[in-house]
Amino acid sequence: MGETFLFGYARKSSESDEKQVQSIESQLSWIQGSSGSNFSKVKIFHENKSAKDPYKREEFQKMLDEIEKLNTKHKNKEDFKIIIYAWGLDRLSRNPVDSGLLQYFLQIGKIHEIVCSDRVFTRIDSGIMMGLFNALNNQFIMDLQKNTKRGMRDKADKGGCIQLTPNGYINNKLTKEADVDEKLKPIIIEIFRLRDEGYSLHSLVAHCNKNGYKTKKGRNFTKTVIDEMLKNPFYIGFQKNEGVLKKANHEVFIDVELWERINNIKRGYSRKKTELFPLKGIIKSYKTKKNLLAVQKFKGNKKSEIKKEYIYYCTHNTDNDKVSISQEQIIKYFDEIIYLYEVKSEIKPIIADIVKKDFLKEFKDLEEQKKSINLYLSKAEQKVERLFELVCDGTIENSKYKEENNKLVLEIEKYQKQLKDIGRKNLKLNEDSLYFVELLENLTMKRKVWSNSKKMGFIKILIVELFVTEKKELILQENKIFEFIKYFNLLTF
């Protein structure tokens, strides 16, 4: 045997020091003692990386590359010898990919020996013994992952912090819980308040930069950072674990109603996000009857850092028609005529009856869906009973029964979920029909406190089509219900 090439590998995972079996220093000390006088010839590789996933350790990969180069250079296996020193086989690998590669290198002679503190692995025992040790190491990782997930789940169920905290909080290393960052707290509250007042993400970034606000990592606030902050339920006392929101025990400084307002969430069920262009497809040119193009711009001069959104509707450049109108002008027009659509007490029963009839078709559609799902659910439950009879009389094997039964259970759960969804939709329709009539009472007073987005949402409900002339005059075609209300109000004025 010719020249001998010695490699030493030491590793600890990225966990805290007290959880390590051996520190890198003690592993290197062991390698020095084991290699003796040849230690000066040992090429050392060490790193702080977990070995649970393949292709993630740079130093380990460098060592394998060196071994490959030596094998390419010395084609005759008798001319050289390669030995790896590692305190334990689990230091080299804890995943089946890297373990298999080391085992394969031993079998074909690319590596001649792997020297560990408890034994030496050679080509002779690289099959059974090394395979057994590697399997145990891999199983350790799988058990560790399982136990870690269970521990995280249990901690989350008790309200403990299981995540890296967002801006405004810090992870307490001693208690392992989330503490309020008193320095960032007022800044986060201010960002939420400004967003609620109508600031765009662009404006919020400019505001933060102007005031020199920095994140917990000392970086500038960006649109992405602020957007993720505003959507994060951690600020109202919730955190995600395995895709499920769970109540947490940390101190909360953002009001729940404020957070829900910003994220357009209605209690009990989600609602659609506020549309940026609610009149798109409805507003048209009076001359050509073509849809107007919806445009969003930011209003303000070049020097001003805070710019407000400016929305308007206009004709396409290719059209031989020049029509444009801003959203503010549309809102102002409807503010002046809103009293025409207010429901008086004497016609409230009539309007309520019209609304119920209007909603009746949707109620019927939901009822038909419910009947259809109940039929499928009944058939699935009958199949479960029949399947049980077949396994009892020995017609099918137990394994086949479990497989088919699991499929049917999932199918039944799907139908039950669909029925719950229909129940929620039915309840929402009832609420919407009642809300619609209540909304039209004292409409003039209510509208004074509405935001522009809510006003635009109401305009969309009110009209079927809205036409704009070149002189910026509005001609509207109302929904039949509003047409009736306006007609009645004009008669009584």
Whole-number pLDDT of residue 100 = 83
Q: Give the E-state strand segments of 13-137 in sequence order.
A: 42-48, 80-85, 113-115, 120-121
What is the pLDDT at residue 61? 93
State residue 168's pLDDT score: 93
> In terms of pTM, does the model score above 0.75?
no
Pairwise CA distance, residues 377 & 351, whole Å = 39
Write the DSSP string, 350-373. Answer: HHHHHHHHHHHHHHHHHHHHHHHH
In the numeric block, which tokens belong to residue 387?
């399947």
Helices 348-392, 398-440: axis angle to 10 degrees equals 180
pLDDT of 273: 47
Q: Return the bridge partners of 477, or none.
A: 465
**How many whole angstroms separate alpha carbon 479 and alpha carbon 355?**
12
Residue with tokens 């259970």: 409
Report the alpha-carbon distance of residue 243 to residue 410 in Å, rounded.
Answer: 19
Q: Give the pLDDT score at 118.
A: 82
Residues paired with residue 169 on neighbouring β-strands, in sequence order: 180
H or E, element range at 436: helix 398-440
Residue 285: closest CA among 320, 330, 315: 315
Query: Which residues, given as ranges, of the chain have pLDDT below 70?
Result: 1, 14-22, 125-129, 131-148, 265-275, 298-309, 317-319, 356, 358-359, 429, 431-435, 493
Length of the chain: 493
Beta strands 120-121 and 113-115: pairing type?
A: antiparallel
In the structure encoding, which two tokens stand for residue 209, read together? 């930069």
CA–CA distance, 7 with 399 (Å, rounded to integer): 51
Residue-wise pLDDT for 337-366, tens only, equals 888 888 877 777 777 777 767 667 777 788
CA atoms within 13 A on the CB side of 166: 23
> What domains appear along the chain, each with residue ranges and CATH number?
3-149 (3.40.50.1390), 169-263 (3.90.1750.20), 283-331 (no CATH), 345-485 (no CATH)
